[in-house]
Amino acid sequence: MIAAAAALSLLLPLASAHMGCGGHEIGRRNHGGSRVLEHRQVANSVVAREREYGRGWGDDILGNMLETDLRDSGRCNASPERACRNPNAAPPGVAAGARAVSCASPTGLVHDPTSECTYYTYSPWDAIKSSYPTIWAAADIVANDTEATALFATINASLNAALPDVAVKGNGDHTGNWGTTDTTYTTDTDCWWTYAKCTTPASSTGLAADITTVPEPETWGLGFDDGPNCSHNALYNFLSEQDQKATMFFIGSNVVDWPVQAIRAKDDGHEICVHTWSHEYMTSFSNQQAFAELYYTRKAIKELLGVTPKCWRPPFGDVDNRIRFIAAALNMTTIVWSEDTDDWKVGTDNVTSADVSANYADFCAAGKNGTYSTFGPVVLNHELNNYTMQEFIDVYPTIKASFKYIVPIATALNTTYPYEETNVTYPTFAQYIGGTTETNGTTASNSSSSSTSNSSTASGAAAAASTSAKSAASQVAALPVMGMFVAGLVATLL
Ligand SMILES: *[C@@H]1O[C@H](CO)[C@@H](O)[C@H](O)[C@H]1NC(C)=O
Ligand SMILES: *[C@@H]1O[C@H](CO)[C@@H](O)[C@H](O)[C@H]1NC(C)=O
Ligand SMILES: *[C@@H]1O[C@H](CO)[C@@H](O)[C@H](O)[C@H]1NC(C)=O
Ligand SMILES: *[C@@H]1O[C@H](CO)[C@@H](O)[C@H](O)[C@H]1NC(C)=O
Ligand SMILES: *[C@@H]1O[C@H](CO)[C@@H](O)[C@H](O)[C@H]1NC(C)=O
Ligand SMILES: *[C@@H]1O[C@H](CO)[C@@H](O)[C@H](O)[C@H]1NC(C)=O
Ligand SMILES: *[C@@H]1O[C@H](CO)[C@@H](O)[C@H](O)[C@H]1NC(C)=O
Ligand SMILES: *[C@@H]1O[C@H](CO)[C@@H](O)[C@H](O)[C@H]1NC(C)=O
Ligand SMILES: *[C@@H]1O[C@H](CO)[C@@H](O)[C@H](O)[C@H]1NC(C)=O
Ligand SMILES: *[C@@H]1O[C@H](CO)[C@@H](O)[C@H](O)[C@H]1NC(C)=O
Ligand SMILES: *[C@@H]1O[C@H](CO)[C@@H](O)[C@H](O)[C@H]1NC(C)=O
Ligand SMILES: *[C@@H]1O[C@H](CO)[C@@H](O)[C@H](O)[C@H]1NC(C)=O
């Protein structure tokens, strides 16, 4: 008991430091204050845009409709901003929100690294945002959202039946200050990662173990947390040039702040996973809030990117059996990590960039000395800021020289259907290492060809902008109505 309590008091301050005092400063567009409304003029014409985006822009039906409609109306040239914010009725066969995509692809965003982080509006999001929680705040079910309410009710009932004793952690604070839990939680009955890094729930719970490593030997499981970052084009261009895919753990609030950047990730063939709506400590939320944090992020990704993720990573690793149950009920695999670069920590807790380089060097040394002869690490690094992204780019050649393979998590697990949609497939591990790295079912099966054929600045974002219109075509389908899964869930649990 005493030993356990000591472990808790050791761990909890660590967890707080992760977040507190500017610790893990997750990138967000609005730093709490009022939203700055700034809209970028889109000066170039559709024709110029087509030249820029190249690669089939206008070849598909949606592209043609957009082009024709915008050119005919002249609205894009006259006042693209207005056209984006007040789209008229959608052309036949096109989802209501879809048609303003091209207007919402500011040229600066695409080409100029100094303005890629300039705010823009995106009409597909504007059209639906009233059905979502406030961004960068703890999510809850939105008033009158009957679909979410019904789904939650079934999940809550089966959760209460299966795991009646798992308490909400802390005293209502979602930032890692655990209040009295700090002294009262002394035995790890809930497999609470933050308490003792538990990742394997008791088999009686019926819950799957978290993914912490990949089964393939000498293989680096590659993922980035906290995106999409408005400034990620340099990183994504680099990944495209290397024909390297990764798993992107996206924060819902960032996805809706920077939808074009999020769309690029999917269209570049990266695996998209959920990193919650507001990036807070999940075990501190009520069942309903925790559900909403996952549900609305998943739903926003579906509406904006056209795919429904089946994986998530708890911010700060903060997960317990209650949260795992809710995630599993949403068909999401819980993925944590085995190695932390600490890139997110630089500038806090006396962590320096030299420490991070040393961490990477250590992992690479381990890649060569037999540590990973039977499995591979899942390494935590971030799409957080210029430093975290550039550090990865700089160290990538060393990683490549130290490991046999660097692959997204889905690939390492042969997860060929990473989304609820069954018309998007990913390569198996064997296919990926054999050179088939592209995703079937996305619109940009080989985006490296377009981004490498042009300047290094941000041509990839142009690819994103071009494919975003096409992706919009797949946004029509709403979240699948949830069926009888709870019966199945209870069956597996009991
Ligand atoms: C919710 O529905 C009620 C009754 O149908 C209605 O009065 C209320 O305005 C709705 N609230 C919102 C936020 O839509
Ligand atoms: C969900 O379950 C919790 C108990 O775990 C309960 O307090 C809460 O009222 C339930 N919510 C709904 C909407 O049923
Ligand atoms: C989970 O997956 C099952 C099987 O594919 C599906 O029937 C169910 O609708 C999914 N549940 C959710 C919440 O997406
Ligand atoms: C950082 O280093 C200073 C000086 O060595 C030390 O006083 C302080 O406690 C350290 N802070 C942390 C968070 O380790
Ligand atoms: C391999 O390298 C890592 C990192 O330097 C080290 O921690 C580990 O002890 C080494 N293992 C062996 C078997 O040499
Ligand atoms: C992305 O990175 C830039 C540059 O490092 C940073 O200023 C910004 O706050 C980051 N976050 C987001 C959400 O774009
Ligand atoms: C970081 O910033 C430098 C200087 O602006 C830029 O050249 C570089 O491409 C950026 N790296 C990333 C990964 O964004
Ligand atoms: C993935 O497929 C390969 C064969 O192609 C197999 O060797 C490996 O065990 C599979 N991995 C998993 C996690 O199923
Ligand atoms: C993608 O589709 C092509 C043609 O249908 C097929 O040859 C290839 O194996 C598929 N790749 C994956 C990863 O499914
Ligand atoms: C993808 O593009 C790269 C760079 O242009 C090219 O080398 C590669 O052969 C392409 N792959 C496929 C499958 O088309
Ligand atoms: C690259 O972009 C420049 C300027 O945007 C353009 O003039 C050039 O034709 C493009 N090159 C290719 C290969 O697309
Ligand atoms: C997948 O199927 C959905 C309909 O179920 C469709 O809207 C979407 O466009 C398809 N996506 C791809 C990439 O074919």
The yes-or-no verdict on residue 243 having pLDDT over 70 is: yes
Contact 227, 254 (CB under 8 A): yes
Residue 276 pLDDT class (50, 70, 90 cuts) = very high
Expressed in angstroms and rounded, the spacing between residue 278 Cα and the centre of ligand 4 is 30
**Ligand 10 site-directed mutation target among 242, 243, 438, most atoms within 8 Å of CB:** 243
Which pLDDT score, from 0 to 100, does residue 9 have? Answer: 39
The yes-or-no verdict on residue 184 having pLDDT over 80 is: yes
| CA–CA gap between residue 391 and residue 444 (Å, rounded) | 27
Expressed in angstroms and rounded, the spacing between residue 338 Cα and the centre of ligand 5 is 15
Please state the domain extents for the chain: 1-24+137-494, 46-131
| CA–CA gap between residue 450 and residue 461 (Å, rounded) | 10
C-alpha 468: how far from its chain's center? 17
Tokens representing residue 164 in the block: 């009646």
Residue 445 Cβ inside 6 Å of ligand 9? The answer reads no
Residue 20 Cβ inside 6 Å of ligand 8? The answer reads no
Nearest ligand by distance to the CA of 18: 4
Domain 1-24+137-494: CATH class, spelled out? alpha beta
Nearest ligand by distance to the CA of 392: 7
Q: Name the residues annotated as catalytic.
A: 225, 382
Instruction: Select from 251, 401, 359 the least CA-distant residue to 312.
Output: 251
Select, from the ranges 118-132, 260-274, 357-371, the one with the highest average predicted confidence (pLDDT). 357-371
Tokens representing residue 30 in the block: 């609005």
Contact 415, 426 (CB under 8 A): yes
The yes-or-no verdict on residue 432 having pLDDT over 60 is: yes
Phi and psi, residue 335, nearest 5° = -120, 120
Atom of ligand 1 nearest to the CA of 142: 13
Which pLDDT score, from 0 to 100, does residue 441 have? Answer: 63
Radius of gyration (C-alpha) of the chain in whole angstroms: 22
Report the percentage of the chain scoring pLDDT > 90.
60
The yes-or-no verdict on residue 76 having pLDDT over 90 is: no
SS (H, E, C) 294-351: HHHHHHHHHHHHCCCECEECCHHHCCCHHHHHHHHHCCCEEECCCEECCHHHCCCCCC
Mean pLDDT, to the nearest integer, of 436-440? 86
**Residue nearest atom 5 of ligand 8, based on CA coordinates:** 430
Contact 253, 279 (CB under 8 A): yes
Please indicate whether residue 257 or residue 139 has the higher confidence score (pLDDT): 139
Q: In which residue are the tokens 């069954």 written?
A: 422
Nearest ligand by distance to the CA of 261: 6
Atom of ligand 3 nearest to the CA of 479: 14
Which pLDDT score, from 0 to 100, does residue 34 have? Answer: 26
**Residue nearest atom 4 of ligand 7, based on CA coordinates:** 386
Nearest ligand by distance to the CA of 393: 7
| CA–CA gap between residue 242 and residue 222 (Å, rounded) | 13
**Residue nearest atom 2 of ligand 10, based on CA coordinates:** 449
In eight-state DSSP terms, residue 419 is: B
Which pLDDT score, from 0 to 100, does residue 26 have? Answer: 66
Contact 462, 52 (CB under 8 A): yes
Residue 29 pLDDT class (50, 70, 90 cuts) = low
Phi and psi, residue 380, nearest 5° = -90, 115
The yes-or-no verdict on residue 485 having pLDDT over 80 is: no
Spell out the residues 6+ positions from residue 32 whose beta carbon is closer than 8 angstroms to its own. Answer: 136
Please indicate whether residue 447 or residue 55 has the higher confidence score (pLDDT): 447
Residue 414 Cβ inside 6 Å of ligand 8? The answer reads yes
Atom of ligand 3 nearest to the CA of 331: 1
**Residue nearest atom 14 of ligand 2, based on CA coordinates:** 153
DSSP-based three-state secondary structure for 283: helix
Residue 439 pLDDT class (50, 70, 90 cuts) = confident
Mean pLDDT, to the nearest integer, of 403-416? 98
Give 278-321 pLDDT, tens digit per residue.
999 999 999 999 999 999 999 999 999 999 999 999 999 999 99
Biggest CA pair distance of the chain: 75
Expressed in angstroms and rounded, the spacing between residue 347 Cα and the centre of ligand 4 is 12
The yes-or-no verdict on residue 478 having pLDDT over 50 is: no
**Residue nearest atom 9 of ligand 6, based on CA coordinates:** 27
Residue 461 pLDDT class (50, 70, 90 cuts) = very low
| CA–CA gap between residue 309 and residue 332 (Å, rounded) | 7
Tokens representing residue 153 in the block: 């009710």
Q: Which residues, judged by CB distance below 6 Å to any ligand atom, belong to the binding site of ligand 12?
A: 421, 423-424, 441, 473-474, 476-477
The yes-or-no verdict on residue 447 having pLDDT over 80 is: no
Please indicate whether residue 226 or residue 23 has the higher confidence score (pLDDT): 226
Which pLDDT score, from 0 to 100, does residue 116 have? Answer: 74
Residue 77 Cβ inside 6 Å of ligand 9? The answer reads no
Q: In which residue are the tokens 């501190």 written?
A: 284
| CA–CA gap between residue 294 and residue 314 (Å, rounded) | 10
How high does pLDDT run on average in the chain? 74
**Buried (b) or exposed (e) across 94-118, using 16+ Cβ within 10 A?**
bbebbbbbbbbbbbbbbbeeebbbe
Residue 156 Cβ inside 6 Å of ligand 10? The answer reads no
Which pLDDT score, from 0 to 100, does residue 364 have? Answer: 98
Atom of ligand 11 nearest to the CA of 450: 14
Residue 348 Cβ inside 6 Å of ligand 5? The answer reads no
Residue 373: CB atoms within 10 Å: 9
DSSP-based three-state secondary structure for 488: helix
Residue 350 Cβ inside 6 Å of ligand 4? The answer reads yes
Tokens representing residue 24 in the block: 């893990």
Atom of ligand 12 nearest to the CA of 442: 13
| CA–CA gap between residue 464 and residue 471 (Å, rounded) | 10
Atom of ligand 8 nearest to the CA of 414: 1
**Ligand 1 site-directed mutation target among 132, 144, 146, most atoms within 8 Å of CB:** 144
Mean pLDDT, to the nearest integer, of 351-356? 96
Q: Which residues, judged by CB distance below 6 Å to any ligand atom, belong to the binding site of ligand 6?
A: 27-29, 117, 229-231, 254, 385-386
